[in-house]
Amino acid sequence: MKVIRARILGYCMGVRRAMDMAEKTLKQRSGPGRVFAMGPLIHNPQAMDALKGQGLEVLDGDELPLDLSASTVIIRAHGITPQLELTLVNRKAHLVDATCPKVKASQLKARALHEEGYRIFLAGDRDHGEIIGIQGYAPHCILAANSTEAAEAAKKLLREDPEARTALIGQTTISPAEYRAIEERIRSFFPALELLDTICGATEARQDSLRSLCAEADAIVVAGGRSSANTRRLLAIARQEGKPAWLVESPAEIPPETRTFKTLGLCAGASTPESLIGAIEKALLKEGPEP
């Protein structure tokens, strides 16, 4: 069997930055102080297990200790709401902000547009940490996971406020094609829609790299966590390209069907560590094709 790696795979800049900040914080801690992550720092179970092994504890907003004065709280790469950040400050936590700079830029753009009176359409996964965080900076955002939802929401807004100034912000990992489709549907109701270029360039390059890989491989294995939005999008793209494709979180999850292909493409999400990519590649080569 031949395994071809995608040209771009593994940690993106934002994830690498968050991991480096967390590892540095854990190494430098002293005394009995605890180190928390505000939600999963990144969306990969192996990477999170490694950090937990170094002492990291993961919190959600419903279980915050009342006194965090002896604790450090690392803000996840996807960001949090300013309201939650204020709660952490009021409880005297020492904050380490590992929010991806691209996400932080989206947060600040959303706040500025909201303050200027814009009605903001927010394109992405409504349950994703990044989208939840941005909503805290711009209350009353209009969420749209796809072009159909965008059209329905825009039509409703046109009835309620035909003179509304509108803007569109996308999740940094949304597919460019989906973002364009959402834009087109909203613009058909609001021609003056202000479109913000918030898609991370690394996300688009990673997806283009996968499309090139699909031209060389018989099937695709996507390495990464199922909770990772960008990893799930890679799986969807591979299938859209007409390739059999599987998402695996560990070598143990490699399906037996992969053995029937002579050439496999291997790609990985932005939060997938190189150690996992290497382990999956090694397992694929060890299995080999059926005779």
As annotated, the binding site for dimethylallyl diphosphate includes 43, 78, 128, 228, 230, 271
Active site (annotated) includes residue 130: yes
CA 126 – CA 191 distance, rounded (Å): 25
**255: closest CA among 244, 267, 271, 269?**
244
Token pair of 80 as six digits = 């949090």
* Number of separate helices (H) and strands (E) present in the chain: 10, 12
Cβ atoms of residues 36 and 74 within 8 Å: yes
b vs e for 17-42, b when ≥16 Cβ sit within 10 Å of the residue's Cβ? bbbebbeebbeeeeeeeebbbbbbbb
Cβ atoms of residues 262 and 1 within 8 Å: yes
As annotated, the binding site for isopentenyl diphosphate includes 43, 78, 128, 228, 230, 271
CA 268 – CA 30 distance, rounded (Å): 35
Active-site residue, selected from the candidate residues 85, 130, 178, 249: 130
As annotated, the binding site for [4Fe-4S] cluster includes 12, 100, 200
As annotated, the binding site includes 12, 43, 78, 100, 128, 172, 200, 228, 230, 271
CA 37 – CA 39 distance, rounded (Å): 6
In which residue are the tokens 């790299």 written?
209
Active-site residues, by number, are 130
